Amino acid sequence: MPIQWFPGHMNVTKKAIAERVSEGIDVVIELLDARLPGSSTNPMLQALTAGRPRLKVLNKQDLADPDVTARWLAHFNAQPDTRAIALDASERAPAQQLVAGCHALAPNRGGMAKPMRVLICGVPNVGKSTLINTLKGERKAKTGDEAGITRLEQRITLADDFYLWDTPGMLWPRIIVDKSGYNLAASGAVGRNAYDEEEVALELLDYLRQHYAPLLEARFKLDEPIAQMQGEEVLEAIGRKRGALLGKGRVNLQKAAEIVMNEFRAGTIGRVSLETPEEFAQWLAAGEQKDAQREARKAARKKARGKGTSPADDAAPASQ
């Protein structure tokens, strides 16, 4: 099931970002989830902020696989007008790298005559508010482990010549990479009413079983090697271990799914990443191909309607 979530306030955010960019922004800070950097890169933001230097921040790096994070940093740093760093937004010293990174991308900005103007954006629940509070040294932005906490744009003065505009977390209207939808849901970037938790948990477990089986076995103390289990069997085994049971010994799969996703989000399973640059590139190519086919079918139907016929009618032989 494809996962999509674009509530009304996100469209307001889209317009606010476009207006802010048109007024003049020197650097765009895009906060990404270090566990899913490709999936948490918003293609709509790429279009809205095109032409602006970009600082990509892989946040929550303390929860991600450090080897995979290093590969993502190399991937982003190879892109033009882009710098990438990894940090834990709650630590003040690493967060200061942002200020230095912005000045490196826009060296001619600074001082009262030409203050640095920075826009910070990202998907929901990626840690923007925590980062801003850390930078400012006081509680300026609401925080919470839930998508959609920040609803309004706000300007924050980090120094006399450094202005930061914080925007609400924003997804995009149509996620064409199915795997990205699942990863975003697992991370908490998607509202709970937009997905089936069991389905997302099964997708999450399938990836972790293939890449981080020892961590799963150690965390949940499973009775048999996870390699010998498939799909729902892993979720059921976790549910039994954690006491997520219904009557007659049946496993409450909904409760088991919540346990799995909560433990992933909290990092108690271990430091894991859900995608490498190479994997995401393959998923994106497949998604773009599927989307192109969808658009071609849509265009064919529109053309057929314009002729007053259906595609089936076009295929039929003309009467004599």
> CB burial class (10 A; 0-12, 13-18, 19+) of residue 62?
middle
pLDDT class of 309 with cuts at 50, 70, 90:
low
Contact 31, 57 (CB under 8 A): yes
Q: pLDDT tens digits, residue range 249-267?
A: 899 999 999 999 999 999 9
Which of the following CATH numbers is that of domain 9-166: 3.40.50.2300, 3.40.50.300, 3.90.1150.10, 3.40.190.10? 3.40.50.300
Instruction: Sort strands 82-87 and 54-59 into parallel, antiparallel or unpaired.
Output: parallel
pTM of the full predicted structure? 0.86
Residue 316 has pLDDT above 70, yes or no: no
Q: pLDDT tens digits, residue range 185-237?
A: 999 999 888 899 999 999 999 999 999 999 999 999 988 888 888 879 999 99
d(CA 317, CA 320): 9
Cα atoms in the Cβ-side hemisphere of radius 13 Å centred on 9 = 13
Q: How much is the pLDDT for 245?
A: 94
Q: How much is the pLDDT for 289?
A: 94
pLDDT class of 280 with cuts at 50, 70, 90:
very high
Domain ranges of the chain: 9-166, 196-266
Q: pLDDT tens digits, residue range 109-139?
A: 988 899 999 999 999 999 888 888 888 776 5
The domain 196-266 having CATH identifier 3.40.630.30: the answer here is no
